[in-house]
């Protein structure tokens, strides 16, 4: 129970004094300090427990274009220690089979995330009053060796999840889901998977290689990382190499929801069924931006026409509320193919929505 929350803004000198405003019927927020337009360090303090929360500075007082571009303008810290959730970038595209550029995805998602405010306007989620969150930077990947990169990702995520922190990953191509799930499954056992994508990513080999952005979930099944009866793939579409491109997925017990099944309808009823399928066990959410129609998200490596809408993307993520989410990713944003920045902006908002449905998030 929140008795009160204190926001401390440490700066130099132009706007001074303190201001008290009402946040809800049972809570008052105190804002103290001076302001001259510089980047600020902001924190919530829960007086009863003493636990602090990181809070992005408000654009009412700090210009969005100022400061270092961290996710949602959150503080940066080097490790996940003490965090409930962390944004982490994995800037690779060496597993990409078509158009490269996803290595720049994390950087551009962070830049566009400056638009995102503190609360979810529709769901009333208050993540920064509920979780201690920070941006812990990028994994130092090896752009010349994909197998070594996977090793580096796996080792880094082992350290993240060992702290109890939930990783929110900015990709990077979809290869990264494989080593991330290796680390997640080591801690939690086989996990349920909500996979939102235009492609099943279950190929066995691509050009003689077993690791790439079209193979991660095949490798995950090979290694027993997934609870196959709790796997759903949503938004699959496009041409294939066989009459039934998703036969292998169905044979493993995956639920396959092709994009055509989603046309012209709300996905709220679907997500009610998915929540029942996932139950109370650990769940990982992997969201490929190419699940959205390229009219909305052209900045990606392997676009497919006739995809999901951003509204349906929100319905899927918001439908994950109440699940035992142990990790999420947003992958395949390739900024060179969208000079408007809209694909990265969409990705940033979807990541914010993922944070809002994590366990223990407070809703007004």
The DSSP annotation for 136-195 comes to EEE----TT-HHHHHHHHHHHHHHHHHTTPEEEEEES-GGGHHHHHHHHHHHH-SEEEEE
Instruction: Look at residue 13 in the predicted model and tell me its pLDDT.
Output: 29
What's CA 34's distance to the chain center, in Å? Answer: 33
d(CA 40, CA 147): 40
d(CA 348, CA 111): 9
Residue 24 located in a structural domain: no
pLDDT surpassing 60 at residue 193? yes
CATH of the domain at 359: 3.40.800.10
Helix (H) or strand (E) holding 346: helix 342-356
Looking at per-residue pLDDT, the higher value among 141 and 39 belongs to: 141
Band of the pLDDT at 2, cuts 50, 70, 90?
very low
Number of neighbouring beta carbons within 10 Å of residue 246 = 18
Percent of the chain's residues with pLDDT above 70: 86
Token pair for residue 129? 């009053």
pLDDT tens for residues 59-103? Answer: 999 999 999 999 999 999 999 999 999 999 999 999 999 999 999
pLDDT surpassing 80 at residue 288? yes
pLDDT surpassing 70 at residue 1? no
Cβ pair 36, 13 in contact under 8 A: yes
pTM higher than the cut 0.85: yes
| Average pLDDT, rounded, for the chain | 89
Report, as an integer, the average pLDDT of 166-193: 98
Band of the pLDDT at 282, cuts 50, 70, 90?
very high
Residue 26 located in a structural domain: no
Tokens 């999420």 sit on residue? 328
Looking at per-residue pLDDT, the higher value among 42 and 312 belongs to: 312
Report, as an integer, the average pLDDT of 263-281: 98
Residue 32 located in a structural domain: no
What's CA 180's distance to the chain center, in Å? Answer: 13
Residue 235 located in a structural domain: yes
Residue 44 located in a structural domain: no
Nearest to 160 by CA among 225, 107, 84: 84
d(CA 108, CA 100): 15
pLDDT surpassing 90 at residue 307? yes
pLDDT surpassing 80 at residue 122? yes
Residue 80 located in a structural domain: yes
Cβ pair 217, 189 in contact under 8 A: no
Instruction: Look at residue 42 in the predicted model and tell me its pLDDT.
Output: 55
Looking at per-residue pLDDT, the higher value among 35 and 250 belongs to: 250
pLDDT tens for residues 28-38? Answer: 333 433 444 44
Token pair for residue 217? 């979930």
Phi, psi of 220 (to 5 degrees): -65, -40
Q: Which of 29-43, 198-212, 290-304 has the lowest mean pLDDT?
A: 29-43
d(CA 169, CA 347): 11
Percent of the chain's residues with pLDDT above 90: 85
Tokens 């009402």 sit on residue? 22
Residue 22 located in a structural domain: no
Residue 55 located in a structural domain: no
In total, how many domains does the chain have? 1
Cβ pair 77, 176 in contact under 8 A: no
Tokens 């407070």 sit on residue? 362
Q: Whole domain around residue 159: which residue ranges?
A: 71-363
Report, as an integer, the average pLDDT of 151-179: 98
pLDDT surpassing 60 at residue 332? yes
Instruction: Look at residue 194 in the predicted model and tell me its pLDDT.
Output: 99
Instruction: Look at residue 52 in the predicted model and tell me its pLDDT.
Output: 87
Length of the chain: 364
pLDDT surpassing 60 at residue 284? yes
Band of the pLDDT at 305, cuts 50, 70, 90?
very high
Band of the pLDDT at 186, cuts 50, 70, 90?
very high
């Amino acid at each position: 129970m929140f008795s009160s929350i204190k926001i401390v803004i440490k700066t130099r000198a132009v706007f001074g004094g303190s201001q008290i405003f009402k946040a809800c019927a049972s809570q008052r927020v105190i804002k103290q300090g001076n302001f001259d337009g510089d980047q600020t360090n902001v924190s919530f303090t829960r007086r009863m427990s003493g636990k602090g929360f990181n809070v992005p500075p408000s654009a009412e007082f700090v210009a969005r274009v100022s400061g270092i571009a961290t996710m949602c303008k959150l503080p940066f810290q080097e490790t996940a220690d003490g965090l409930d959730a962390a944004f982490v970038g994995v800037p690779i595209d060496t597993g990409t089979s078509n158009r490269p550029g996803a290595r720049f995805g994390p950087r551009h998602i962070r830049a566009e995330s400056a638009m995102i405010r503190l609360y979810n306007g529709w769901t009333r989620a208050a993540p920064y009053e509920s979780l201690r969150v920070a941006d812990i930077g990028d994994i130092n990947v090896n752009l010349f060796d994909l197998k070594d990169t996977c090793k580096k990702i796996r080792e880094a995520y082992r350290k993240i999840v060992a702290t109890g922190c939930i990783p929110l990953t900015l990709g990077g191509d979809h290869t990264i889901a494989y080593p991330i799930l290796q680390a997640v499954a080591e801690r939690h056992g086989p996990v349920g998977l909500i996979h939102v994508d235009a492609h099943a990513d279950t190929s066995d080999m691509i050009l003689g290689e077993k690791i790439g952005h079209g193979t991660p979930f095949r490798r995950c099944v090979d290694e027993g990382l997934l609870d196959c009866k709790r796997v759903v793939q949503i938004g699959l579409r496009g041409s294939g190499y066989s009459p039934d491109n998703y036969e292998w997925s169905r044979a493993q017990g995956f639920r396959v929801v092709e994009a055509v099944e989603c046309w012209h309808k709300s996905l709220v009823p679907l997500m009610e069924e998915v929540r029942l399928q996932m139950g109370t066990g650990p769940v990982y959410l992997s969201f490929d931006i190419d699940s959205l129609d390229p009219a909305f998200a052209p900045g990606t490596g392997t676009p497919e026409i006739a995809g999901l809408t951003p509204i349906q993307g929100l319905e899927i993520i918001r439908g994950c509320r109440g699940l035992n989410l142990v990790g999420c990713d947003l992958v395949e944003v390739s900024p060179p193919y969208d000079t408007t920045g809209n694909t990265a902006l969409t990705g940033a908002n979807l990541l914010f929505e993922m944070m809002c449905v994590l366990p223990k998030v407070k809703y007004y």
